[in-house]
């Protein structure tokens, strides 16, 4: 007899897919791991740092990712590149994407851990662990490519 269950990450990932407009029929859950996919979605283990390079907008913030893996988050109201809310670099840790923040600004010296889902022109960050309330409450909103 097989036991079927969904862990918390499966449920969060399915929720993120549904929130981004994927139909329930397009969602496939692999019960041997936490991989969730549909025909146009790239999962965390498949997303390279180079896929994230560019500008992203989630209605609250601009996220700019450079070729060298550095990032900065800017308020949409001001979007002054000389005054980011936070900056740092991205690092891969298995299937996780770590936002390592510089020692200045919001979340100074803290690392946020996220899973990544990408569709054409859209990025979804799924919170794994982040001690920074500012980032964890704002980075989980869907991002659209803005460059």
DSSP 33-81: SS-EE-TT-B-GGG--HHHH-EEEE-SSEEEEE-TTSEEEEEETTT--T
pLDDT of 2 reads 34
pLDDT of 18 reads 42
pLDDT of 97 reads 94
pLDDT of 40 reads 65
| Cβ proximity of 69 and 49 under 8 Å | yes
Report the candidate in 68, 67, 88 with the shortest Cα–Cα distance to residue 135.
88
pLDDT tens digits along 19-28: 445 433 333 3
pLDDT of 6 reads 37
Supply 9's token pair: 């990450």
| Cβ proximity of 63 and 71 under 8 Å | yes
pLDDT of 94 reads 87
pLDDT of 44 reads 67
**CATH tag for 45-145 (out of 2.40.128.290, 3.30.230.10, 3.40.50.12280, 1.10.800.10):** 2.40.128.290
Report the candidate in 140, 49, 31, 30 with the shortest Cα–Cα distance to residue 93.
49
Question: pLDDT below 70 — which residues of the chain?
Answer: 1-40, 44-45, 79
Compute the distance between CA of residue 115 and CA of residue 132 in angstroms, rounded to an integer: 16
**pTM of the shown model:** 0.68
């Amino acid at each position: 007899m097989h036991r079927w269950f969904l862990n918390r990450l499966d449920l969060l990932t399915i929720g993120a897919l549904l929130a981004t407009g994927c139909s329930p029929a397009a969602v496939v859950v692999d019960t041997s791991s936490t991989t969730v996919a549909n025909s146009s979605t790239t999962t965390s283990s498949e997303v390279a740092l180079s896929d994230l390079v560019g500008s992203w907008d989630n209605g609250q913030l601009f996220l700019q990712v450079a070729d060298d893996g550095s990032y900065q988050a800017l308020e949409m109201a001001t979007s002054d590149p000389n005054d980011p809310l936070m900056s740092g670099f991205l690092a891969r840790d298995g299937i996780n994407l770590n936002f390592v923040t510089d020692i200045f600004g919001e979340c100074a010296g803290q690392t946020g851990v996220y899973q990544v889902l990408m569709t054409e022109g859209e990025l979804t960050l799924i919170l794994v662990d982040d001690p920074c309330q500012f980032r964890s409450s704002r980075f989980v909103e869907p991002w659209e490519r803005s460059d």
